[in-house]
């Protein structure tokens, strides 16, 4: 099964000139979704993480079943104001603006091995910011797991030197 064939391209979304890679066409089919999670599990299990950290919101979609398959915990990274306990926070630049991410300070035990999961790597801003949260928590980043990587945007170059698993490259 070729995963790239399961992704729908939507031109000029969210702004003109952007091709949005829509994963909902993959998610709606249980066989394709199971296959995606199984492949991600196979490729990421050798990194031996203690936790999967999923980036809001599509990182949750893939991160929770991956954590389940690996029999490890799942930690959400959210936009500001959505987590009730004390948080670590990091600001970062987007292609067209600024944003922030947060993670509970007590989410992980110091020194834990952490795998970051998201749906897509573009310029690397969100993934890089999440890596900073892992650093603030005094944990070890063991890698990134992604469904899609937009290689032309060079996001990989902005990330720490750890393994990066991407199932589909454009």
Q: Which of 134, 71, 70 is nearest to 102 (CA)?
A: 134
Structure tokens at 81: 């104001």
For residue 74, what are the β-bridge partners? 52
- CA nearest to 66, candidates 39, 95, 27: 39
Residues identified as active-site: 58, 95
Neighbour tally for 152: CB within 10 Å: 9
How far is Cα of residue 128 from the mean position of the Cα atoms in its chain?
10
């Amino acid at each position: 099964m070729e995963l790239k064939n399961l992704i729908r391209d939507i031109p000029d979304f969210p702004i003109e000139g952007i091709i949005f890679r829509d994963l909902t066409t993959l998610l709606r089919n249980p066989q394709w979704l199971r296959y995606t999670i199984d492949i991600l599990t196979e490729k990421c299990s050798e990194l031996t993480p203690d936790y999967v950290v999923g980036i809001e919101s599509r990182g949750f979609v893939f991160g929770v079943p991956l954590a389940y398959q690996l029999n490890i915990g799942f930690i959400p990274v959210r936009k500001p104001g959505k987590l009730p306990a004390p948080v670590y926070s990091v600001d970062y630049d987007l292609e067209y603006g600024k944003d922030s991410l947060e993670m509970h300070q007590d989410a992980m035990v110091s020194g834990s091995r952490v795998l970051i999961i998201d749906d897509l790597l573009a310029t690397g801003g969100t993934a890089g910011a999440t890596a900073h949260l892992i650093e603030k928590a005094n944990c070890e980043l063991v890698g990134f797991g992604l469904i899609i990587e937009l290689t032309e945007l060079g996001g990989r170059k902005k990330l720490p030197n750890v393994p990066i698993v991407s199932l589909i490259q454009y």
